Structure 1
Amino acid sequence: MQILRTPKHCFENLPGYSFQENYVDVSNACAFTVGEELRMHYVDYGLPDSPVILMLHGEPSWSYLYRHMINNVAQAGFRVIAPDLIGFGKSDKFAEQDAYTYANHLSWLREFLNTLALTDIHLICQDWGGLLGLRLVAEQPELFMGVIAANTMLPTGDHKPPQAFLDWQTYSQETDNFDIGNIIQRATQNDLIDEVVAAYNAPYPEEKYKAGARKFPLLVPISPDDPETENNRRAWASLKQFDKPFITAFSDHDPVTAGGDKIFQKTIPGCIGQSHTTMANGGHFLQEDCASALAELAITCFKENER
């Protein structure tokens, strides 16, 4: 499998994003032989001994999505860890879509968490950040202090997905120009300046760098015979026992995940009595539309966890 590494000059002068680079080699977690380093990039911002907030991005964004929240939350006394999934952002990328599976993404994230030896984690997850992050919570609930789930899901394929998602899945495979910056813009309520749109495109100087972004929509379990369906069902069984704080923060303008917050609230014991919030005027990428409100929710709720 060919590993691609986006040239550093692509990330110069990104507005609002000047965090120090950090890398973890996750090649040992591959289900196939890599033969070289496979670097996962992450932001590590805030005092080292502060409570940890793990921010997991989704498709087709990267840790740049959390730039405003990283600053706000760190200033409130937290240590923020915000990785770029393999295939995204400053992390290494495979040129072949076959390298990307749900299981591989989970293995790379497990290796990442094990290497950093993170414990007492407060998780914020959106989109695929939830499909991956909530699996990790289900597997090792002892590592997590609480969760904020924002515009995400943990599908088992037992219910037909919204037409908006099926359209997105088709588009991701058939369009000749997979313009990631424009995709982000179309799924936000705010108008992004050209420099921000360009920052979302920065990791992908050529089409071959986008294999991971193109593959993610195909990895969502949408039928009961999907290879990850049973694993997600087992994860739900575990989450039904998760009684630590679990807060939903879904936005009011996201046709893909609308209603998912109610499913979490009915199913997970940790949702009882929490400050569930509907983010007003927020699109799918609510970190762009509602960064301050989402950061404030995290600060308030996670500080309660620390008492």
Structure 2
Amino acid sequence: MKVLRTPDAAFAAISDFPFAPHYREIIDAKSGARLRIHFIDEGPRDAPVVLMMHGEPSWSYLYRHMIGPVVEAGFRVIAPDLVGFGKSDKPAAKSDYSYAAHVRWMRQWLEALDLTRITLACQDWGSLVGLRLVAEMPERFSGVVLSNGGLPEGGPAPRAFAIWRAFSKWSPLFPIGKIISKGTKRGLGPQEIAAYDAPFPDASYKAGARIFPSFVPFEGNVAVPDQKRAWEVFDRWDKPFLCAFSDGDPITRGGESRWIGRVPGTAGQPHCTLRGGHFIQEDDPEGFVAAILAVTGSARG
């Protein structure tokens, strides 16, 4: 496995992400390759954890407006970069990636940090990976806040997603910062777009970002059985589970209906609709933070 690492200099111009980097190395079980995973770790080390997991094709920069307010409420916030994204290492070949590999890599990372008392806050692929972690290690998690994501277990792909999947596979250009900007309602400024482009100095770093959409387990995908096993856990999950989907995401709008009423932990929760597009962390970070605190309360309270 050839592994790329974005030079630190690529991130030097980012002025609105004032968080110290942390790293933990894991070993890929199949190839033996060493992979360095980057994560933000803010707040008291003995406080309950809020695990903020990003999706495709973003990185932990996505949560920059949310980390501070949740830490101020008394929590330890941990926000990793998935392998292939952000400041984490990037296997160079598309064949190095799979849904199962990402779950395996992030489970190894989480176990290495020995995190417990975790509330998962997730969106997009942060939910596809994060919810699988919850299902595999339910004893480590105390709650879930889900926005604009899910845990597909077959069925047809929504038209908007099918278009995105084809674009990611075939488009000769893949301008990540501009893609994320188009997934917001407010639009991003030039410096923000540059920050999302920073992890990918050239096309060779984009293998993970290119291949991720093809892994979403709609009908016929190899991961469907794993998804169904995860759903068996959530069909019994009675810890808090809050949905905070946005009103303007053409791919996931209405996705809360797959959870509310099916998962026991959704009962009595103040489910809410946030205002914005797919990348709700950019459009309505305050609303997402409020949803997290509605599940967790104040750690200082």
Corresponding residue of 1:227 = 222
SS of the residue corresponding to residue 58 of structure 1 reads coil
CA contact (8 A) 1:22 1:41 kept: yes
Structure 1 segments unaligned to the other structure (5+ residues): none
More off after superposition, 80-89 vs 134-143: 134-143
Corresponding residue of 1:30 = 29
CA shift, 1:13, in A, is 2.9
Letter in 2 for 1:298: I
Letter in 1 for 2:140: L
CA shift, 1:30, in A, is 3.2
CA shift, 1:305, in A, is 8.8
SS of the residue corresponding to residue 58 of structure 2 reads coil
CA shift, 1:306, in A, is 9.0
Letter in 2 for 1:86: V
2-structure distance, mates of 1:233, 1:219? 15
Corresponding residue of 1:293 = 287
2-structure distance, mates of 1:241, 1:191? 39
Corresponding residue of 2:42 = 45
Structure 2 segments unaligned to the other structure (5+ residues): none
Corresponding residue of 1:134 = 131
Corresponding residue of 1:148 = 145
Matches within 5 A, 1:157-236: 157=154, 159-223=155-219, 225-236=220-231
CA contact (8 A) 1:145 1:305 kept: no
Corresponding residue of 1:59 = 56
Q: Structure 1 residue 250 and structure 2 residue 250: aligned?
A: no
SS of the residue corresponding to residue 38 of structure 1 reads strand
1-structure distance, mates of 2:234, 2:180? 30
1-structure distance, mates of 2:13, 2:49? 27
Q: Structure 1 residue 10 and structure 2 residue 6: aligned?
A: no
Letter in 2 for 1:15: S
User: Deviation above 6 Å: which 4+ runs of structure 1?
Assistant: 304-307
- Give the direction of change, closer, same or farther, for the CA distance of 1:306–1:234 in structure 2 (3 Å limit): farther
CA contact (8 A) 1:155 1:221 kept: yes
Corresponding residue of 2:269 = 274
* Cα deviation 1:274-295 (Å, max 9, x = unaligned): 0101002x10000000011111
Number of residue pairs aligned between Structure 1 and Structure 2: 301
CA contact (8 A) 2:242 2:291 kept: no
SS of the residue corresponding to residue 151 of structure 2 reads coil
Letter in 2 for 1:261: E
Matches within 5 A, 1:93-108: 93-108=90-105
* Cα deviation 1:225-277 (Å, max 9, x = unaligned): 32111110011111000000000000000011112111110210000000101
Name which of 230, 242, 259 aligns with 1:264.
Answer: 259
CA shift, 1:31, in A, is 2.2
Corresponding residue of 1:109 = 106
With normalisation by structure 2, the TM-score equals 0.97
Residue identity over aligned pairs, in percent, reads 47
Letter in 2 for 1:227: V
1-structure distance, mates of 2:138, 2:299? 15
2-structure distance, mates of 1:74, 1:166? 37
CA shift, 1:191, in A, is 2.2
CA contact (8 A) 2:75 2:299 kept: no
2-structure distance, mates of 1:30, 1:178? 30
SS of the residue corresponding to residue 124 of structure 1 reads strand
Letter in 1 for 2:227: N
CA shift, 1:147, in A, is 0.3
2-structure distance, mates of 1:190, 1:51? 32
* Cα deviation 1:25-73 (Å, max 9, x = unaligned): 111x432232xx3100000011111111000000000000001101111
CA shift, 1:138, in A, is 1.2
Letter in 2 for 1:286: I
- Give the direction of change, closer, same or farther, for the CA distance of 1:79–1:12 in structure 2 (3 Å limit): same
